[in-house]
Amino acid sequence: MDIKFIDGGVCAPQGFKANGIHCGIRKNKDKKDIALIVSEKIASTAAVYTQNLVYGAPITVTRNNIADGKAQAMVCNSGIANTCNADGIEKAEAMCECVAKNTQIKKEDVIVASTGVIGQPLDIEPIEKGMPELVKGLNVNGSDDAANSIMTTDTQKKEFAVEVEIDGKKCKIGAIAKGSGMIHPNMATMLCFITTDVAISSDMLKKALTLTVADSFNMLSVDGDTSTNDMVSIMANGLAGNSEINKEGKDFDLFVEALKAIAIKTVRLMAKDGEGATKLVECSVEGAKDEQTAKVLAKSVICSSLVKAAMFGSDANWGRVLCALGYAKVQLDVTKVDVAFVSKAGRIEVCKNGAGIEFSEDLAKKILLEDEILIDVKLQDGQAKATAFGCDLTYDYVKINGDYRT
């Protein structure tokens, strides 16, 4: 299957426009703080949400709005999370009404999201005043502005698009995302907005998104904190002209693979851009008895504070990897565990059958000094495998989060 990465972000698929501006939620006028994505026609829609029992008002409103599996627009502000506020639902609904008043889109067909500080009230006035400008500026090249508008502590925008042929038609999927800290999805704990011109039913779209999330966003952790607000949503407007995907089969599988490709690309950048991070740290577990075991073990390794700190210090402390595997609460035969560290500087085996082996500390240091590290774990217990995505733990993480609110 030929999946090609292309430019254009959420505007790459046919029939989508986007924009992002500074409307006044943030004090810093140089930072855009509200984004809008619209489809020229109503779209099949699906979303997955945080499982934190403390969740933002926009999630409640979005759940209600897309209960019928349809939407036509997405609006998101940054700076204020609209969580733990007595008037939160009222404000989230007001954001949808702002979109409706300035477009031909029904307020019930709007996905709404917020990201930023928890517990501070969201002032709706800047959004109401800024919406005409935001709508007027919607354009087919607006993905970049939208991507920048949803960033908080991110240092890099997250914006990707792919093209794949389905049913003889060129189909495109685009995505923008934000996420740098407070990331430990159980779905989800960041924002990701996906668009596609694929024709697919709402039910199959939800199934495709659920399958994708399981291997991408739910295999990501920056700091072990599951956020309150965030979601991954997707709109599919069908303008590519393929026969509607309404059941499993070849076309559905092609779509899922393309969706996973863009999701994993997004997740890797989220991990690498983790708050204060200097390295992307991946853990690949192979030879597990089943996929769930592989996933639990891989995520346990990249979530370990001690492993993360060792990666920051470029220290080949493989004992911390075994420790993290051992407390993952899944069946594990430690006498079958092999561990290696890998980067573009090379590969070094450090553990064989659960025991240390001689290796060059100098070579290990050279490998771990790179900015993308793979911890390769082999279990010799089956055929299943999984990969988790994380980052190192640095002094700057504490600095960023020590005064995030003030």
Which residues are the active-site residues? 189
Helix (H) or strand (E) holding 284: strand 280-288
Helix (H) or strand (E) holding 289: none
Helix (H) or strand (E) holding 194: strand 191-196
Number of residues assigned to the chain: 406
Judge if the upstream peptide bond of residue 188 is cis by omega within 30 degrees of 0: yes
Write the Ramachandran bin of 318: left for phi over 0, alpha for psi from -120 to 50, otherwise beta: alpha
- Count the Cβ atoms, other than its own, within 10 Å of residue 141: 13
Cα distances (angstroms) measured from residue 142 to each of 139, 156, 397, 403: 5, 17, 31, 32
For residues 83 and 85, what is the distance between their CA atoms, to the nearest angstrom? 5
For residues 398 and 308, what is the distance between their CA atoms, to the nearest angstrom? 14
Q: Do residues 160 and 175 lie in contact, with contact meaning Cβ atoms separated by under 8 Å?
A: yes
Kindly give, in sequence order, each residue whose CB lies less than 8 Å from that of residue 169, ignoring residues fewer than 6 positions away.
Answer: 240, 241, 242
* Closest residue by Cα to residue 275 from 343, 373, 178: 178
Cα distances (angstroms) measured from residue 222 to each of 137, 268, 318, 395: 34, 11, 20, 14
State both tokens at 164.
């794949």
Residue 289 CA, chain-centre distance (Å), reads: 28
Helix (H) or strand (E) holding 84: none
